[in-house]
Structure 1
Amino acid sequence: MKKQNWVIELARFIESRRNVPFAWHENDCCTFVADAILLITGIDAAAPYRGHYTTATGAYRALRKYGDGTIAGAWSACFEEIPVSDLGRGDVALVNVNGLPASALLMGNKLWAVSKTGLITLPVTEAIKAWRVE
């Protein structure tokens, strides 16, 4: 269940990460979204993965070891998949960033994702899959 004032806290969180560059396990696509979810719900969706990777290869190994080997599978293990047309504030989406699958978070009318230089926004129409965060 989302905490009281979660929208304000999520907006502050996004602002705090706006210029933080991509870094495996510190601010990658999944930890960015998982950190936001932890803040607004108290649920740590990344708990099985934290401390188990520091590189791209390590991240993919962790996905295989603790999940089905995919980012989508990791989110499906934690949250209910919903049609992308039902995405709401604070929900998770799977998108493509530079041709690779990545996690994003819906806030306002934009999907927020991590890039090499900080956060980027994508239109909601870029969502491939979606999960409800309650």
Structure 2
Amino acid sequence: MSAPRCGRCRTSIGVALRDRPNRRGEFMIWTPKNIPARKPGWERSFVAIMARHVATPFAWTPDAHCLAAPAELCLAMTGVDPMRGFRRYRTETGALRAMKAAGFGTVEDALAATFLEIPKLLARRGDCGVLAQEVDSRPWLTSFVVMGAMAVGKTERGPVYVPVEALKRTFAIGAY
């Protein structure tokens, strides 16, 4: 059985572990950094970003894939952009190539490399997590954003809401 992948884009984003630059001369695709505490007033950014992401269905673009919302929330709430240098693909093939080059096989791996894992009971609005599910009898992982007691993720048909307790793992966006 192969490792579970993102339920929508079947990819993940991770750390470029190589010492040579990619074709564009960039050394890092996904740069794990120390994520600082959330900035004062992060709630307004959170509401604006999530309103846009909930209204936008999943697509093979850097702004609508599984990790777009957690990365954009991190930038808005902390000032750190964990996807710097990655927002260039436009197709499933391009996303798969970028993921393979980055060295990660799942969304869960990417989130774990970037954000601090926290217990589900400590997850607060603006944190993220992964939902393990089966699609066509195959295991899938999909990223979700915590909205309170519920978390929201994307599909081609629109948003999906699940209880935070249903998430496999949760991660803090912003230092605790």
Which residue, 39, 53, 56 being the options, matches 1:3?
Answer: 39
The aligned amino acid for 1:114 is K
**Matches for 1:37-48 after TM superposition, within 5 Å:** 37-48=74-85
CA distance in 2, matches of 1:98, 1:18: 22
- Deviations, residues 25-54 of structure 1 (Å, cap 9, x unaligned): 221111122112211111212224321x22
Partner of 1:79: 115
Q: TM-score, normalised by structure 2?
A: 0.67
CA distance in 1, matches of 2:95, 2:134: 18
Partner of 1:117: 157
The aligned amino acid for 2:74 is I
Offset of 1:97 from its aligned partner? 6.0
Which residue, 57, 68, 72 being the options, matches 1:35?
Answer: 72
> Structure 2: which 5+ runs fail to align?
1-36
> Structure 1: which 5+ runs fail to align?
none
Please state which structure has a larger fraction of its residues in helix: 1
Do the aligned residues in 1 keep the contact of 2:49 with 2:69 (CA within 8 Å)? Answer: no
Do the aligned residues in 2 keep the contact of 1:111 with 1:123 (CA within 8 Å)? Answer: yes
CA distance in 2, matches of 1:69, 1:61: 11
The aligned amino acid for 1:67 is G
Offset of 1:126 from its aligned partner? 1.8
**3-state DSSP of counterpart to 1:122:** strand
Report % sequence identity.
29
The aligned amino acid for 2:76 is L
CA distance in 2, matches of 1:93, 1:118: 18
- Deviations, residues 49-108 of structure 1 (Å, cap 9, x unaligned): 321x22233323322211322211111221112223322221110114663211111122
Partner of 2:145: 105
Do the aligned residues in 1 keep the contact of 2:50 with 2:69 (CA within 8 Å)? Answer: no
Q: TM-score, normalised by structure 1?
A: 0.85
Do the aligned residues in 1 keep the contact of 2:38 with 2:78 (CA within 8 Å)? Answer: yes
The aligned amino acid for 2:158 is G
Offset of 1:10 from its aligned partner? 0.6
